[in-house]
Structure 1
Amino acid sequence: MKILDSTLFYTQSSGGVRTYIDAKRQALLRRGDMSHKVVLPGAGVRFDRDFVQLPAMPLPLAPGYRFPLRLGLWANVMAGLQPDLIEAGDPYTPAWAAQRAARMLDVPAVGFYHSDLLSLIHHRVGAFLDAGTRGYIRRLYRGFDLVLSPSQLMARRLAECGVEDVQVQPLGVDLEAFHPQRAKPDARRRLGIEDDRPLLVFAGRGTQEKNIPVLLEAMRALPDYHLLLIGTGLQPDAPDNVSVIHEFCPAPEVAGWMAAADALVHAGDQETFGLVALEAMACGLPVVCADAGALPEVVPARCGRHAPANDGGGFAEAIRDLFEHDDPAALGRAARAHVESRHSWDTVVDSLLGHYRRVLGVYDQPVLARTHESHP
């Protein structure tokens, strides 16, 4: 099977979509009877083995990202690569080009709704565009032969826009890269904290929807705890019990810090999946997350705590409850077991190939449950 992925969410600093594509690629190529190519934005045309860069303009407000304008060029190049199936990982020009190329070849086009376009425009532009955004999403995703979403939340968002029959396909985590044994042995010394002080961690871009101020408010109420923020940018209002690594860190570095911590905290209330929570759970950490977005789907109650959204005091109470009335290490072991059983990339890609084969008309492989359910 020859699979082609296309998305503008593939840059050095991009998050879950690039992780998904890279992990999927590795799992596909291990099978031996698969080929995989990626079409992504660049400064010009460049063919680098299985990666094809096509011209796209830089986005001033999103450093590192580029937006394609030449739909025809993108469609023609995709069609020229002769895939058996094309998957689009964003709701922009590459998605329309993927549909056009698929029609040229008479092959299936798959749309993976990684990004919640409706919420993004609603929060950053205004509610007056909601009706138009729903219409755009409906028109685009009804043009795909198969629509995937990473969570039930995103499937419901699409249903609100009039896109039915969405298949929920949870994402995975690299269980070797993110492992309890990856812990940095000198983490607390480097942070200047005592060995017995609870160490919390969060990793991710410091964008508005991550709600970093909620975590800072919680830390002001938890003077005996320490929080490490990784890759979130400068936090001038951070209290003394917060450390910040304000730069992009490769996965091994993030895994080392995570595995050395006692719990992950995540106040984001707009996550479409929440891959960083899976990574922390794979490192053997319990997770305290906002009871909003897709995070409650990813983090079962037995693996941490769900805290009130946008409530620093509520987050502090949830963190304190976890450490004072439970066993964080035991919860972390349960979290690791959970991701081992459900979220290895090989398991996820087996399920994904089941979806692909069904849309291709081959019915010899099952897929994961249609809905992604958290388990109490």
Structure 2
Amino acid sequence: MRILDTTLFYTQASGGVRTYIDGKRQALLRRGDTSHKVVMPGSRVFFDGDFVSLPAMPLPLAPGFRFPLRLGLWSSIIAGLQPDVIEAGDPYTPAWAAQRAARLLDVPSVGFYHSDLFTLVHHRVGRFLDPGTRAYIKRLYEGFDMVLSPSRVMAEQLHRCGIGEVEVQPLGVDLEAFQPQRAKPNARRALGLSEDQHLLVFAGRGTQEKNIPVLLEAMRRLGPDYHLLLIGTGLQPDAPSNVSVIHEFCQTPEVAGWMAAADALVHAGDQETFGLVALEGMASGLPVVCVDAGALPEVVPGDCGRHVRPNDGAAMAAGVRDLFEHDDPAALGRRARAHVETRHSWDAVAESLVGHYRRVLGDHEQPVLASTHESHS
């Protein structure tokens, strides 16, 4: 089976979508019965093995990202690569190009709703665009032969936009890269911490949706017995003294080393479509204190940490304190690791994805009208 992924989110600055494509690709290639190509934005047309860069315009307000404008070029190049299945990982030009290429080849197209366009527009532009955003999403995703969502909450969002069938496909985590044994030596010493202080961690881009100010407020309330390490979030000038910041992009081994050296992961983002960083923390043997919003409650079981009220620094602080004062964080961390080993290996995710692809290949001539259901990995 020849599989092709296209998305404007495959850049060094990308987060979960690139992680998804890389993890999926490695697992697919291990199978031996599939090939995989990626079409992504770049400054020019460039072929590099299984990776193809196509011209896209730099986005001044989103450094590191490019937006494709030449729909015809993208669809023609994708069609020329002769895939059996085309998957689009964003709701923009690559998605429309994927559908056009699929029609040219008479092969199925799959739309993966990684990015919650509706919520993004609603919060950043205004609710007056809600009807138009819903109409756009409905028009786009109705054009795919199959629609995938990383979580039930995102499937419900698509339902509200008028999309009838959505397959829920949870994402995976690199269990080799993220594991307790990867702990960075002397991490506490490097941060100037004693063994009695509890080390918390969060990794990710410091975008508005991550709600970093909520974590900073929680740390002010928690005081010197707790210390938070923020990785890759950019400068945080308002951070209290019990917060350290690595304000630059870090490669996976560096992030994994810091994570495994921590005692818990904290996550205040209330708009996560999945929340891969929570999964990475759990794979590193950490309990997770996260907000009870977005997809995070689906990713983090209640017996692997704490769910707290969103957008509330006091609630986050109380959840962290309760975890350490009334529970065994190490035991919860072991439970979290066991959970992701069972349900979220990339090999298991790839097996589920191939099942989706085989189904849509068989059903390509007749769209399926069943109701939403979850695909367990």
Q: Same fold (TM over 0.5)?
A: yes
Aligned to 1:98, the other structure's residue is in SS state helix
The amino acid that maps onto 1:291 is: D
1:291 aligns with 2:292: yes
2:262 is aligned to: 261
Task: Give, in whole Å, the separation in 1 of the partners of 2:37 and 2:160.
Answer: 32
C-alpha contact (below 8 Å) 2:88/2:112 kept by paired residues: yes
The alpha carbon displacement at 1:371 in A equals 2.2
2:338 is aligned to: 337
1:360 aligns with 2:340: no
2:183 is aligned to: 183
Task: Give, in whole Å, the separation in 1 of the partners of 2:13 and 2:120.
Answer: 19
Task: Give, in whole Å, the separation in 2 of the partners of 1:279 and 1:126.
Answer: 33
C-alpha contact (below 8 Å) 1:151/1:372 kept by paired residues: no
1:365 is aligned to: none
2:366 is aligned to: none
Runs of 4+ in 1 over 2 A off after TM superposition: 369-373
The alpha carbon displacement at 1:164 in A equals 1.1
C-alpha contact (below 8 Å) 2:167/2:375 kept by paired residues: no
C-alpha contact (below 8 Å) 2:16/2:276 kept by paired residues: yes
C-alpha contact (below 8 Å) 1:153/1:272 kept by paired residues: yes
Task: Give, in whole Å, the separation in 2 of the partners of 1:112 and 1:101.
Answer: 16
Task: Give, in whole Å, the separation in 1 of the partners of 2:274 and 2:180.
Answer: 22
The alpha carbon displacement at 1:312 in A equals 0.3
Aligned to 1:147, the other structure's residue is in SS state strand
2:163 is aligned to: 163
1:117 is aligned to: 117
The amino acid that maps onto 1:173 is: V
2:77 is aligned to: 77
2:146 is aligned to: 146
1:350 aligns with 2:351: yes
The amino acid that maps onto 2:357 is: Y
Alignment of 1:187-226 (within 5 A): 187-223=187-223, 224-226=225-227
Task: Give, in whole Å, the separation in 2 of the partners of 1:320 and 1:33.
Answer: 49
The amino acid that maps onto 1:254 is: V
Task: Give, in whole Å, the separation in 2 of the partners of 1:87 and 1:40.
Answer: 12
Aligned to 1:184, the other structure's residue is in SS state coil
2:25 is aligned to: 25
The amino acid that maps onto 2:374 is: T
Task: Give, in whole Å, the separation in 1 of the partners of 2:17 and 2:315.
Answer: 31
Residue by residue, what CA displacement relative to the aligned partner does 1:69-91 show, whole Å, maximum 9, x if unpaired? 00001000000000000000000
1:371 aligns with 2:377: no
The alpha carbon displacement at 1:32 in A equals 1.3
The alpha carbon displacement at 1:372 in A equals 6.7
The amino acid that maps onto 2:192 is: G
2:105 is aligned to: 105
C-alpha contact (below 8 Å) 2:352/2:375 kept by paired residues: no
1:228 is aligned to: 229
Q: Cα–Cα, structure 1 residues 352 and 29, in superposed 2: closer, same or farther, change >3 Å?
A: same
1:94 aligns with 2:94: yes
Task: Give, in whole Å, the separation in 1 of the partners of 2:49 and 2:257.
Answer: 32
The alpha carbon displacement at 1:370 in A equals 3.2
Aligned to 1:221, the other structure's residue is in SS state helix
Task: Give, in whole Å, the separation in 2 of the partners of 1:340 and 1:47.
Answer: 36
1:366 is aligned to: none
Gaps of 5+ in 1: 363-368
1:49 aligns with 2:49: yes
Aligned to 2:310, the other structure's residue is in SS state coil
Gaps of 5+ in 2: 364-371
Aligned to 1:202, the other structure's residue is in SS state strand
Residue by residue, what CA displacement relative to the aligned partner does 1:119-144 show, whole Å, maximum 9, x if unpaired? 00011111010100000000000000
C-alpha contact (below 8 Å) 1:23/1:345 kept by paired residues: yes
Q: CA RMSD in A?
A: 1.2
C-alpha contact (below 8 Å) 1:85/1:108 kept by paired residues: yes
Aligned residues: 368
- Among the aligned pairs, what percent are the same residue? 79
C-alpha contact (below 8 Å) 1:4/1:87 kept by paired residues: yes
1:311 is aligned to: 312
